[in-house]
Amino acid sequence: MKKNWDNPEALPTRPMPHHASVPGELWIGGVRVAPATVLAPMAGVTDTVFRRFIKNASMFTHPAQPVDHARSADSTPSAVPAEPGCSALQTPASLAADVDAATSNEVSGCGLIMTEFTSADGLSRMRESKRQRYLTYYEDEHPISAQLFGSNPATLAESARICQDAGFDLVDLNLGCPAKRVVSCNGGSGLLRDLPRIQEIFEEIRKAVSIPFTVKFRMGWSDSSIVCVELARMAEDCGLSAVALHARTREQGYSGNARWEWIGAVKDAVRIPVIGNGDIRTPEDAAAMVEATGCDAVMIGRAAPANPWIFRQIAQYTLSRQQTGVGVYDQPTEMDRYRMIRGYFDRLMAEIAEHPEVNGPAETDLEKRLKRNHESAQRDAIGRMKQFASWFTHGVPGGAALRREIFEARRAAQVIERVEAFFTERAEAGWTTPAPDAGFQPEPDSDLNQAPSAWG
């Protein structure tokens, strides 16, 4: 299923927010989420490497300062045109915290991160060593929520216990994935046609874990069967700690516009926190959603891979509006983009290094297994490099040429060489080109191409 990850012409013109801002904090059960922004679970995207990059990119120095548009010796022009009320440049004077700086004196703009959605059936059948790999996270990722999908109440409850025992702060149930293979197993949004089964799942998971339990769902299967308000009330009655609504139906997939009025309807119907999701691409969108719906937090999905700094920008925008009445936020420089993409690649290469390569012919069973592991890890890393580069070079002048070169690469070292050459050439040219690279729409992996789902 194509996700239309970047199709601004399909978005409605949202009114500029006048009063509301993204809240500074949200309590989900006993877990504090500050600020009230959430990285959505995305199959094939939100692995531990990407989640930590989002956390890193979200760090900002309190407060954001207006930018001097005069170029200093150590600043570079942004490739991204300024939005209304935004700074066109990011300089050390405007944002002391670089994306790879220490975080001791900084604040994260992303309050909660979520894993890729994980098959409860697969998780319950895995041997312990494999399970630990799929549930890997680092201490700097807290608070973190593990998302599960499936349709068997007992299996989902067991998998929720596994996640709790693994140290996750929250567990979340996926009732939103529209992928055919997931729906055909009555998982994801397929369950929206069976509310009694959902209630049974809610009750079993709630009995199984003591950590906060949440659910992410869509409005309903189709326009003729919208169930989001009824489902939210059921969640509250079953003791869930919060709900998140992606304001589209399963039939819509990722097309059309998110209908925020249904987020408002859910907020009016329940007392537990409501998280809004759908069509947030800028800080202005995040504030507009809060103003239009009254939701307690915002969840961002498809905008994050193309702009990992969006959480920091929301925090800066909110803070500057509170202090001055004018929302401003910094745009990433090309040096920021270079550091981010290289850092992401370096972490992927570190994963390859964990699989020792056997030089020469593999003769023993152990040598053959090690060689297969190394080759598999390298293929996966190269695939993720290409995927990440396609998102991350959108909007960078000349990015289309770099993407073509990366897609032609066969080894991880070739990908890195081409990225280095591209940004070196851009730096030597003063980071300037006649016009930005426009019109590119990243092609995401399908919803089933996630690392930890484990279908069998």
Q: Show which residues are catalytic.
A: 177
Rounded Cα gap, residues 438 and 399, in angstroms: 9
Rounded Cα gap, residues 3 and 278, in angstroms: 12
Q: What is the DSSP letter of 225?
A: G
Going from the C-alpha of 441 to that of each of 185, 302, 429, 444, the distances in angstroms are 30, 12, 26, 9
CB 316 within 8 A of CB 284: no
How much helix, strand and coil, in percent to the nearest 5, is found in the chain? 45, 10, 45
Rounded Cα gap, residues 157 and 172, in angstroms: 11
Amino acid present at 420: E
Going from the C-alpha of 303 to that of each of 117, 119, 280, 306, 391, the distances in angstroms are 18, 25, 7, 6, 9
What are the tokens at 214?
């949440």
- Is the Cα dihedral 370, 371, 375, 378 positive or negative? positive
Query: How long a stretch of residues is the chain?
Result: 456
Instruction: Tell me how far apart the 2 most distant CA atoms of the chain are, in Å.
Output: 70
Rounded Cα gap, residues 188 and 218, in angstroms: 9
User: Where do the H-state alpha helices sit in 170-280?
Assistant: 180-184, 195-208, 228-237, 260-269
Instruction: For residue 116, give the nearest of 177, 161, 62, 55 by alpha carbon.
Output: 177
Contacts of residue 363, Cβ cutoff 8 Å, sequence gap at least 6: none
Instruction: For residue 332, give the nearest of 387, 252, 393 by alpha carbon.
Output: 393
CB 36 within 8 A of CB 244: no
What are the tokens at 189?
């949004």
What angle, 0 to 180 degrees and rounded to 10, lies between the N-to-C axes of helices 310-324 and 48-57?
30
Residue with tokens 């895995």: 126
C-alpha dihedral, 84 to 85 to 89 to 90, nearest 10°: -130
